A and B are shown apart, each in its own frame.
Chain A
Amino acid sequence: MVPGSLRRLQSAWEVQTRVIHALVIRELSTRFGRENIGFLWIMVEPLLFASLVGLLWSLAKGPEEHGISVVAFVATGYIPLTLFRHSVQRSVLVFTTNSSLLYHRQIKIMDFILARFIIEMMGCMMAYLFIGLILIATGFMPVPADIGLFLAGWALYSLFCLSICLVLSPLSEISDVMEKFIPVTTYVMIPFSGAFNMSSWLTPTMREFLMLSPFVNGMEMMRKGIWGIKVTAYYDVWNPIICSAVLIGIGLPLCRRVRKTLAVE
């Protein structure tokens, strides 16, 4: 019995990875085409955002703040924020727009969410790597002090973004109102993303409040991973893990419910 179900699980896993792989390629070729730099465009937007906003901030605030380079600080804040904003925008009505693919029974609606999220994550990671190498080479950013901590922070931040998508995608199918609120919500969210300040720069009450945000916890880990002893970081790894688990627990049954009533043209 056990080997049988294990084998089933293994073959289901193989089908799903194959489907997601195909969906990612399909999405890349429809969104970016094969002309000029093709799918490399996915990293252009986060790259431009991070570098131009960084430049703007360093003009306004001077080259350094709290002993670290403003350009590097803004870049490390903006790229994860782009991941959040893009993945949320992309998750709206993802089932309806892809519904013609549900003709193929091995494609599950979860694959749509995962495929789009993976694309956004790949784009942001490539942009991060690119800009990081440039900033390290030019001396604006140190060589990461603790790359493991940085990656753990990135993983938790991404996990939380994904779990938000898992809830938002089905909700956007249930209610049209949702979609209208998303741009303003992602904007209002910015102070709670930890993108533009370290918790240690804030007052203790403010800090305590912001530490409730899973984004801030992930962001602090990433920054500590890069700057090491140059910054003081406050974080709790359990906060993003628990928040993500709760959202996934809500999102998966919601997806199931939406799939049951989804009308496919």
Chain B
Amino acid sequence: MIVCRDICKEYRHAGLRKQVLRNVNLTVQRGDRIALLGRNGAGKTTLIKLIGGVEMPTSGRIEHHMSISWPLGFAGGFQGSLTGYDNARFIARIYQREYAAIRDFVEDFTELGSQLRMPVKTYSSGMRARLAFALSLAIEFECYLIDEIILVGDQNFHRKCRVELFEKRADRTMILASHDTGTVRELCNRAVIIDQGQATAYDDVNFAVDSYSAL
């Protein structure tokens, strides 16, 4: 279970202040697949970063009783100057996993071949997505935080994600930020709309998607 209590997050820079989230309360049950809906800049990524422990809330608490992946998104998690293999080695080390097993899975899932010997900064966003998914799947988290990135891959990648994540690991919890209402309707069982700093949870995904589309 993940519980967010009264989370506020504001950013300050050069005297400017932007309050992104205001008193957000959210409870995620084990096995939930939650869609985060909201317009650009509404705070979806911020909420995912807070749940992932990447950034700290300005006030409020986040409690969790399961292992949570790092936010799988366009940025973060990798060292651009290191190769794909080196990043895999680094992640195997800090998550205390067998490197050989992780490497085999990454090679098989990403199909990047010799590209894995190139620095990650030379990768396209689709290639990064493959690597990020491969590593986080190899580590086996109980909850996956997915920030948009599922949309960048090609058909082959989508199919693999579907099999590995939504079929083989159907019991896992998932928090998915997405603008793709089709994916959300199909995959998620709950939805949260973030608008003007407030989060509203809906048990009826179709209803949530409709009201999001009306925003």
A interface residues with partner B (beta carbon < 8 Å):
18-19, 21-22, 25-26, 29-30, 100-107, 259-265
> Is the Cβ of A264 less than 8 Å from the Cβ of B79?
no
Q: Known: A18-B96, A103-B54, A104-B94. Is A30-B77 also a contact (CB below 8 A)?
A: no
| Interface check B200, CB cutoff 8 A | no
Q: Known: A103-B54, A264-B54. Is A26-B77 also a contact (CB below 8 A)?
A: no
Contact of A22 among B12, B71, B81, B90 (CB under 8 A): B90
Chain A's nearest CB lies how many Å from the CB of B53? 4
> Is the Cβ of B86 less than 8 Å from the Cβ of A100?
no
CA distance A18 to B92 in the complex (A): 11
B95: A residues at CB distance < 8 A: 104, 106
Q: Known: A18-B94, A19-B94, A264-B55. Is A104-B70 also a contact (CB below 8 A)?
A: yes
**Nearest 9 CB-CB pairings of A with B:** A22-B93, A105-B53, A103-B70, A103-B77, A103-B76, A260-B56, A100-B76, A22-B94, A264-B54
Which of B50-64 touch A at CB < 8 Å? 52-56, 58
| Interface check B82, CB cutoff 8 A | yes
- Identity of the chain B residue whose Cβ is nearest the Cβ of A265 in the assembled complex: B75
Q: Known: A104-B70, A105-B70, A264-B49. Is A18-B77 also a contact (CB below 8 A)?
A: no
B212: A residues at CB distance < 8 A: none
| Interface check B91, CB cutoff 8 A | yes
Q: Known: A26-B82, A30-B81. Is A264-B76 also a contact (CB below 8 A)?
A: yes
B93: A residues at CB distance < 8 A: 18, 21-22, 25
Q: Known: A105-B70, A262-B55. Is A100-B94 also a contact (CB below 8 A)?
A: no
Main secondary structure of the interface of B (DSSP, over half): loop
> Is the Cβ of A265 less than 8 Å from the Cβ of B76?
yes
Interface string of B171-202 (1 = CB under 8 A from A): 00000000000000000000000000000000
Contact of B94 among A107, A261, A262 (CB under 8 A): A107
Q: Known: A18-B94, A107-B94. Is A100-B78 also a contact (CB below 8 A)?
A: yes
Chain A's nearest CB lies how many Å from the CB of B187? 23
CA distance A18 to B95 in the complex (A): 9
- Identity of the chain B residue whose Cβ is nearest the Cβ of A263 in the assembled complex: B11
B interface residues with partner A (beta carbon < 8 Å):
11-12, 49, 52-56, 58, 68, 70-71, 75-82, 86, 90-91, 93-96
* 5 examples of A-B residue contacts, CB within 8 angstroms: A101-B79, A102-B76, A103-B70, A104-B70, A265-B75
> Is the Cβ of A26 less than 8 Å from the Cβ of B90?
yes
A261: B residues at CB distance < 8 A: 12, 56, 58
B78: A residues at CB distance < 8 A: 100
Contact of A259 among B11, B56, B90 (CB under 8 A): B56
Chain B's nearest CB lies how many Å from the CB of A177? 14
B81: A residues at CB distance < 8 A: 30
A30: B residues at CB distance < 8 A: 79, 81-82
CA distance A207 to B55 in the complex (A): 48
CA distance A45 to B70 in the complex (A): 37
CA distance A90 to B182 in the complex (A): 48
> Is the Cβ of A106 less than 8 Å from the Cβ of B54?
no
CA distance A21 to B94 in the complex (A): 9
Chain A's nearest CB lies how many Å from the CB of B7? 13
CA distance A29 to B52 in the complex (A): 27
A263: B residues at CB distance < 8 A: 11, 55
Chain A's nearest CB lies how many Å from the CB of B37? 23
B53: A residues at CB distance < 8 A: 105
